[in-house]
Amino acid sequence: MERQRDPEQERRLLYLRVLLKGMIAVAFMAVVFVFFSVFLSDDGEEGTLQGERFVIGDMTPGETRTLTWDGRPVLIHRRTAEQIAVLEQTDTMQRSRLRDPDSDRSEQPDDMKGALRSQSPDWFIAIGLGTDYGCPLGWLAADQEPFAGMPWPGGFIDSCRESRYDLAGRVYARQYADRNLIVPDYTLVGDTVILGGR
């Protein structure tokens, strides 16, 4: 003898079936949405950081400022005419004091590879971490006290083991650090620097 089903129980089973099918349909649509929005989108910006603007036009020549971008400190130094002249010297004595004077083994945009390592002679912009232990950098003013055989012309110094870098972030020879400072992608627009997103 066949047992009769309770109408209330059948109604609950039907409700549960419809609910389960609805949840499966929603999950399937979510997977399809993610697939099309993430895997098939091609906006041409993979691997680039969003550009961030900083006003630097109020800096005076000789001033150094540290900003935070992409979770790292960024050094911005406004060079004086005298500092630019020092960097543009190409004498053998000056070059011999630097480990990588032509920035051949350095990290910087291709169009910033020269002696100034910058988009504009007035400005030097670099990641503000030493290339030895990644310690913060500070500004070390010019001094008549000899360093590497000549008076110190001014530049940057590592806060851990005191490796020194010139006014273009090039490391001096016979230092703990062996690489020049990293110059990030940036664009100068008027009194603003746009870091990243170049």
Query: Beta 186-189 vs 192-195: how paired, if at all?
Result: antiparallel
Handedness of CA 105, 111, 113, 119 (dihedral sign): negative
Cβ atoms of residues 99 and 172 within 8 Å: yes
**Which residues lie closer than 8 Å to 141 by C-beta, 6 or more apart?**
154
Give the tens place of pLDDT for each residue, 84-131.
Answer: 998 888 666 677 889 998 888 899 998 888 889 999 999 999 999 999
- C-alpha–C-alpha distance, residues 29 and 180, integer Å: 51
Give the tens place of pLDDT for each residue, 5-35.
Answer: 677 887 887 888 888 888 888 888 877 777 7
Q: Specify which residues 130 forms β-bridges with.
A: none
What is the pTM (predicted TM-score) of this model? 0.72
